[in-house]
Amino acid sequence: MLPLASRRPEPPAGADGARGAGALRSGRRARLGWIALLTVLLLLTVVASLAIGAEHVAFGRVLPGVFSPDPGSRDELIVHELRLPRTLLGVAVGAALGLAGAVMQALTRNPLAEPGLLGVNGGAALAVVVVIGTVRADDALVYVWAAFVGAAGAAALVYAIGARGRGGASPARLVLAGAAVNAVFSALTAGLMLLSPRSFNGFRFWQVGSLGGREMSILPRVLPFVLAGTVLALLLARPLNALAMGDEAGRALGSRPGRTRALGAVAVVVLCGSATAAAGPIAFLGLAVPFIVRTLAGPDQRLVLPYSLLLAPVLLLGADIVGRVVTPGELETGIVTAFLGAPLFAVMVRRGRTRDL
């Protein structure tokens, strides 16, 4: 009944046994070429993110600023103390969101699936508002753990609701369960937020995702989670490919859809929870990146996942850089991603072959 969800599964391109060995080899070369290209792109973006900002920094100061900052140089201190952590945060958050989006879309077989849809953002936001309203609001690390727990709880709840009943955790049911849980959480959040102007004031800034103005001690706290989630997600590429052909065909190929879904959900929760905890809810990255990657690389998850991993931080840092220079007072990253991501996404939807819809 959900036309979105019943997108006809495409056989993964890499599983095409009919192709000759030569074609496979050139395919591998193309794959390495893409990876190399995206890596170079990521490095360039990182350098740009270190060099560009509201404060002018001489380009020659960037590298020394990263590795051995001279305490006497203002430029080098800006690079080391402000831009380096912010850039690293951007790489971690971007990679996590891009990968989480890709896994989620593969799991639900739904190109509309988004970290927000599985209730992760809603759960994280609710938890943060509860904390702002009850605990001392000054300690940012408390928000982080709260967001993490909230995200995991919400995703678990969505999965539990979606998996009940005779149909099991079908894509449509998961998405609708996500919408339901999200609605409840965001209503509760709004209610708590509006209880007092004080909690509202703290939350209205947190609820716009941003790489700037975050407590930088967050990064080492979430990094292990991001790494673990990344490894788990990449290991799931093959089972996710099997899942793309439908549960029955996948089972016939020897995969275990239930286990793949459960592990995939774990990866998504870990990745999104860490990212949201570190930078607040960032719109559109998890939706747009896998979509872009699929139009470039086709449906093979062994390509989609690593490409998403590399492309998402490029876009997130790019958005962050744009936000730093576009207005005098810095535009939040989440706003920029939405404004850049949405039109791009619309163009792709218009051009899109029906298979992507």
Partner 1 sequence: MRVMRAGAVSLRWEPRTAAVCGTLALVAAGAAVLVVGSGEFPISPPDVVRAVVGQGDRATEFIVTTLRLPRALTGLLAGLALGLSGAIFQSVSRNPLGSPDLIGFTTGSATGALLQILVFGGGAVAITVSSVAGAVLTALAVYAVAYRRGSGVQGVRLVLIGVAAAAMLEALNSYLITRAELREAYEAAFWLTGSLNGRDWSQAVPLAIALAVLVPAALALARPLGMGELGDDAARALGVPVQRTRALLTVAGVGLVAAATAAAGPVPFVALAAPQLARRLTRRPGAQLLPAALTGAALLVPADLISLHLPVAMPVGVVTGVLGGVYLAWLLSTTGRKGTA
Q: Is 241 in the site for partner 1 (CB under 8 A)?
A: no
For residues 334 and 114, what is the distance between their CA atoms, to the nearest angstrom?
A: 15
Nearer to partner 1, 57 or 154 (CB): 154
For residues 70 and 77, what is the distance between their CA atoms, to the nearest angstrom?
A: 7
Q: Is 258 in the site for partner 1 (CB under 8 A)?
A: no
Helix (H) or strand (E) holding 256: none
CB of 239 to partner 1, least distance (A): 23
Report DSSP state, residue 82: I
Tokens of 119: 């209730």
For residues 122 and 188, what is the distance between their CA atoms, to the nearest angstrom?
A: 10
- Mark residues 128-167: x for contact with partner 1 by CB under 8 A, - for none: ---------------------------------xx-xxxx
The HSE-up count of residue 313 (CA atoms within 13 Å, CB side) is 27
CB of 39 to partner 1, least distance (A): 29
Tokens of 44: 């360039």
Nearer to partner 1, 3 or 71 (CB): 3
Neighbours of 351 (CB within 10 A): 9
Of 108, 182, 255, 274, the residue at the interface with partner 1 (CB under 8 A) is 182
Query: Which residues in the 322-351 window bind partner 1 by CB under 8 A?
Result: 331-332, 334-335, 337-339, 341-343, 345-346, 349-350
**Which residues of the shown chain bind partner 1 in the complex (CB under 8 A)?**
1-4, 111-112, 161-162, 164-167, 170, 172-173, 175-177, 179-188, 190-191, 193-195, 197, 200-201, 204-205, 207-208, 283-284, 287, 331-332, 334-335, 337-339, 341-343, 345-346, 349-350, 357
